[in-house]
Structure 1
Amino acid sequence: MKKNIAIIMGGYSSEVNISIKSGNVVYNHLDSHKYNSFRVLILKEKWVVLDAEENEYLIDKNDFSFILNNKRMVFDCVFNAIHGAPGENGQILAYFNLINLKHTSAPFYQMALTFNKRDTLSAVKAYGIKAATSIYLNKGDEINLDKIIDKVGLPCFIKPNNAGSSYGISKAHTKEAILPAIEVAYKEDSEILIESFLDGTEVSVGVIQYKGETKVLPITEIVSENDFFDYEAKYEGKSKEITPARITKTQQEKVEKVAKKVYNILNMSGFSRSEYIFIKDEPYFLEINTVPGLTEKSILPQQAQEAGITLSQLFENAIETALK
């Protein structure tokens, strides 16, 4: 008997449209002979199932069911394609846990932890993982520009603590550029971090659960046409994503080992994609994404393809892993 699969997309953050693209790719690649797939749009104002004609059917939040042709439909599993809140930060996954509904992501606590850049850095640094020097600020804190520069230097990065897709991130080359960059970051989150600039080759490493094992996918080198790997570079063609990365065997072995260690330290499951910058041969951890982009042109699907894994296999494996 075919399983009913809810592909949740949308969300409450700036990444809503990117999430919808990812969710539609998942929907289009799941085998209709194996699954009854349903697109579920999660927005602040409504939770609805969309049919092929874009008709909407309200989700009953008591049990995440809906009515179709006078019949109550329930789901066997949820495929999480929400970037940002409430999917990537664990909020909706805690709800699924309460109603005993399986999903393709890591447990809600792990998702909440990894969505918080500060807490993730604190966790991995305790295990000896190298990372940039950083300063944390909350909205309303006193800002001492001289102290910031003394600690992290120039240029430096200013980032929202809880945001994705490079929203709110700036690279400040001068003292005068720091305050405007802080204001940009505060538009996305009330917590920010300021990090030292690491000058080296940037790579992205996919680590997933595949056929019962933790698998490191082929590594992607990021070459941005812009000053850094910002929104334009990620989504508007202003970068080259080279898979496999043009790195040495030593660098490859080191970053694969570190990426797998980070995945295990954080008790991850499901998909992940983490970013690193090489300083000489040493990989420095930047951040981890637990609901990475899933379009045909996104980095994780590129890496899966290089590993001989089709999108259909990638998505089906996530569902079957969750169901087990």
Structure 2
Amino acid sequence: MKKNIGIAMGGYSSEYQISLKSGQVVCDHLSDELYEIYPLHILKDKWVCVVDNKEYPINRGDFTVTINDQTISFDCIFNAIHGTPGEDGHLQGYLAMLNIPHTSCAMYQAALTFNKRDLLATLKPFGIKSAASYYLNKGQNIDTKLICEKVGLPCFVKANKAGSSFGVTKVYKEEELTQAIEVSLKEDDEIIIESFLDGTEVSVGVIRYKGQLKVLPITEIVSENDFFDYQAKYEGKSQEITPARISEQMAETVSQIAKNIYEVLNMQGFSRSEFIFVDGYPYLLEMNTIPGLTAESILPQQAAKAGISLEDLFGNAVEEALKIGRKF
């Protein structure tokens, strides 16, 4: 009998449209010979299962859906929600309470990795290097002089809990800081301001594939814009070169660090970590646990270079989740 797989997509953040695209790609490539596939749109104003262009409300009490008088429960949820509530631990905690397997990491790891400040602070004792930073919360006094003394110029002002480069500004002058902070506060009430790292940017995917931890071929990111912003990521304003044009030693170093991070955090599912090489050593920027999943997205590109098709990539994620079962 086929397993019922719900593909959760959408979300409550500025990334919801990107998530809908990722989720649809999963629906299109997950094997319908092995699974019954149900697109689940988790949105601010509604939770619905979309079948043949009809919407069926999801029961939030047990995460079932009734279609043509038949109640469907899910054997596994493929989590394709970028941002809240799918990438920050909320959905993971909810599914854990209902004892439903899912393809992403557990609640704690999702919450930790989604919070840039907490992630970098947690990894620092393990020798993971990152840029000099300054923290600021909504309502706190903005001391632009102190910020410049701490991180220098240029610097990046980032929403602490956001993705797809929403709420990110590269700042060159002290007088630009206040406006950049206002942009970030539209996305989150916490901000991280980081020093500019001048070097080669790479992205490293790590997955659990057929029971073994696998580091995928590394991608070098060359943005046509000032940094790897929304346009660069989604509107073709960048080159994503896989494998990256870095030395074998650099590749080995960053691959081992990405793998160590995955193991230290006791991760499950996909991870895609971003680094910048400075003087030959990789500095961690962030980790994504629900990366883009379209054919053009970085992690699927890396999987393709490793000989893993989208059908295999997504099917493996489901099977790995089912192996773990209902033990969270």
* TM-score normalized with structure 2 length: 0.98
Q: Distance in 2 between matches of 1:188 and 1:294?
A: 23
Q: Which runs of 4+ in 1 moved over 6 A?
A: none
Name the residue aligned to 1:115.
Answer: 114
Q: Does the 8 Å CA contact 1:272/1:290 hold for their aligned counterparts?
A: yes
Name the residue aligned to 2:20.
Answer: 20
Q: Distance in 2 between matches of 1:128 and 1:142?
A: 32
Name the residue aligned to 2:312.
Answer: 313
Q: Distance in 2 between matches of 1:256 and 1:281?
A: 14
- The worse-fitting range, judged by mean Cα deviation, of 143-152 and 35-44 is 143-152
Name the residue aligned to 1:37.
Answer: 37
Name the residue aligned to 1:246.
Answer: 245
Residue 106 of structure 1: CA displacement? Answer: 0.7
Q: Distance in 2 between matches of 1:71 and 1:224?
A: 49
Q: Percent identity?
A: 61
**Aligned letter for 2:78?**
F
Q: Distance in 2 between matches of 1:71 and 1:187?
A: 42
Residue 294 of structure 1: CA displacement? Answer: 0.0
Question: Equivalences for 1:1-324 in 2 at 5 Å?
Answer: 1-52=1-52, 54-324=53-323
Residue 236 of structure 1: CA displacement? Answer: 0.4
Residue 32 of structure 1: CA displacement? Answer: 0.7
Q: Does the 8 Å CA contact 1:275/1:287 hold for their aligned counterparts?
A: yes
**Aligned letter for 1:250?**
Q
Residue 91 of structure 1: CA displacement? Answer: 0.2
Secondary structure, aligned partner of 1:59: strand
Q: Distance in 2 between matches of 1:265 and 1:173?
A: 36
Superposed CA deviations along residues 240-277 of structure 1, whole A, max 9, x for unmatched, are: 00000000011101100111111112211100100000
Can you give the 5+ residue segments of structure 2 that lack an aligned partner in the other structure?
Answer: 324-328
Q: Does the 8 Å CA contact 1:250/1:281 hold for their aligned counterparts?
A: no
Q: Distance in 1 between matches of 2:264 and 2:138?
A: 30
Q: Distance in 2 between matches of 1:170 and 1:264?
A: 32
Q: Distance in 2 between matches of 1:72 and 1:129?
A: 48
Residue 95 of structure 1: CA displacement? Answer: 0.7
Superposed CA deviations along residues 41-61 of structure 1, whole A, max 9, x for unmatched, are: 001111000013x20000011
Q: Distance in 1 between matches of 2:305 and 2:209?
A: 15
**Aligned letter for 1:26?**
V
Residue 69 of structure 1: CA displacement? Answer: 1.3
**Aligned letter for 1:28?**
D
Q: Distance in 2 between matches of 1:74 and 1:12?
A: 23
Q: Distance in 2 between matches of 1:151 and 1:265?
A: 29
* TM-score normalized with structure 1 length: 0.99
Residue 143 of structure 1: CA displacement? Answer: 1.1
Name the residue aligned to 2:326.
Answer: none
Superposed CA deviations along residues 99-133 of structure 1, whole A, max 9, x for unmatched, are: 11010011111101100001001011111101000
Q: Distance in 2 between matches of 1:140 and 1:267?
A: 35
Residue 145 of structure 1: CA displacement? Answer: 1.1
Secondary structure, aligned partner of 2:240: strand
Q: Distance in 1 between matches of 2:227 and 2:177?
A: 16
Residue 68 of structure 1: CA displacement? Answer: 1.1
- The Cα RMSD (Å) is 0.6
Q: Distance in 2 between matches of 1:259 and 1:93?
A: 23
Q: Distance in 1 between matches of 2:265 and 2:51?
A: 37
